[in-house]
Amino acid sequence: MLSVLTVPAFEDNYLWLVHDGKHAAAVDPGDATPIIAALEAHRLTLAAILLTHHHADHVGGVPALLRHAKDSANSPAPLPVFGPHHETIAAVTHPLSEGDSITVPQLQLGLRILDVPGHTRGHIAYYSAPHGWLFCGDTLFAGGCGRLFEGTPEQMSASLGKLAALPDETQVFCAHEYTLANLRFAREVEPHNAALLLRIDRETEKRDHDQPTVPSTIGLEKSTNPFLRCREPAVIERVLSTGRASHSDPISVFAALREWKNTFR
């Protein structure tokens, strides 16, 4: 039986440990300290590292984790580090891109790789169909999506469409606790979306009790996340009526929403 541990880090990051009670794989370990603490608390041995993109808050802990693994290893075999083929991350030993499939050593966890550029040019996501798990880094957030630091609206829109095509029950393990801020923006876009208003109440209650709002699900995102709803008449009308876009095609609507969100407070 595999499960996923939530490991908070920095101000609002979530790092993930996929484990079987004995071995674990760390996803986007931007900070080694909380990962090592979680490994020790749950008596887990690190078996692999999975990276989605090159930003420091996702890869910064890798060197220290490699040292930790080497110091505590019973085997001289180096720890595998999986990461995007189209980005330069020095520690990556197994570069991956769209269409690749991997099995994480010692966990028997099969993952399919998806190219999801937009936030960065080479961003990837890891999808486990049997478990219904998606580790998507900073591409899709609960209620939102990542900023376009390196990619284009066309790329990010296509990446989000790829993720939205996964089964509705897929759990979305994104990398930040941005949910309430994202949902405030979503309400500005769709103030009459009943599913969204219900979600805001539910997620607010979680945060009031210091509980994570992630993982989300693909189905929930499709009903409440404006960046997955660029074909919805209410979203199109809202963007056009505010003068933020002059065309109603999904790319124009997405680009307008992303620019709007960049300055929304």
- The catalytic residues are 53, 55, 57-58, 119, 138, 176
- CA atoms of 118 and 146, how far apart (whole Å): 8
Residue (of 83, 171, 82, 161) closest to 131 by Cα position: 171
- Under 8 Å between Cβ of 120 and 156: no
Residue (of 74, 67, 35, 28) closest to 51 by Cα position: 28
CA atoms within a 13 Å half-sphere pointing along the CA-CB vector of 224: 26
Bond preceding residue 153 cis, omega within 30 of 0 = no
Token pair belonging to 48: 């692999």
Phi and psi at residue 5, to the nearest 5°: -95, 135
- CA atoms of 126 and 134, how far apart (whole Å): 6
Taking the CA atoms of residue 237, residue 221, residue 144 and residue 125 in that order, the dihedral angle to the nearest 10 degrees is: -130
Q: Measured on CA atoms in the order 42, 45, 47, 50, is the torsion positive or negative?
A: positive
Residue (of 203, 113, 122) closest to 163 by Cα position: 113
Query: Hey, which bits of 28-162 come out as E strands?
Result: 45-50, 81-84, 94-96, 101-104, 109-115, 124-128, 133-137, 140-141, 144-145
